[in-house]
Chain A
Amino acid sequence: MTYTTLAVVGVLAALAIDRWAARTRLTSTRDWWGAYAIIVFFQLLTNGWLTGRRIVRYDPGAILGEDRISLLGNWRILYAPVEDLLFGFGLVLTSCVAWTWLGRRSEEQP
Chain B
Amino acid sequence: MSLPHWAYVAMLAFCLAGTLPLVPAFRLSVLRQPRRLLLTIALAGTPFVLWDLYATRAGHWWFDEAQTLPWRIAGLPLEEIGFFVVIPLVSVLTFEAVKVARRRQREDAR
- A30, chain B: closest CB distance, angstroms: 7
| Residues on B facing A (Cβ under 8 Å) | 7-8, 10-11, 14-15, 18, 36-37, 39-41, 43-45, 47-48, 51, 55, 58-64, 67-68, 84, 87-88, 90-92, 94-95, 97-99, 102
The range of chain A's interface size is 35 or more
The 7 closest A-B pairs by CB, nearest first: A95-B88, A95-B44, A98-B43, A62-B60, A35-B95, A35-B98, A95-B91
- B96, chain A: closest CB distance, angstroms: 8
A23 close to chain B: CB less than 8 A:
no
CB neighbours (8 Å) of A59 from chain B are: 59-61
CB neighbours (8 Å) of A27 from chain B are: none
Give A99 to B40 CA distance when docked, in angstroms.
5
Give A32 to B95 CA distance when docked, in angstroms.
6
CB pair B8 A31 closer than 8 Å: no
CB pair B8 A50 closer than 8 Å: yes
- B106, chain A: closest CB distance, angstroms: 11
- A109, chain B: closest CB distance, angstroms: 13
CB pair A55 B63 closer than 8 Å: yes
CB-defined A-B contacts under 8 Å, sample of 21: A3-B60, A3-B61, A31-B95, A31-B99, A35-B91, A35-B95, A35-B98, A55-B68, A56-B61, A58-B60, A59-B61, A87-B51, A91-B84, A91-B91, A92-B87, A92-B91, A94-B43, A94-B44, A96-B91, A98-B40, A98-B44
CB neighbours (8 Å) of B37 from chain A are: 99
Q: Which residue of the partner chain, among B43, B51, B68, B102, contacts A10 with CB atoms under 8 Å?
A: B51
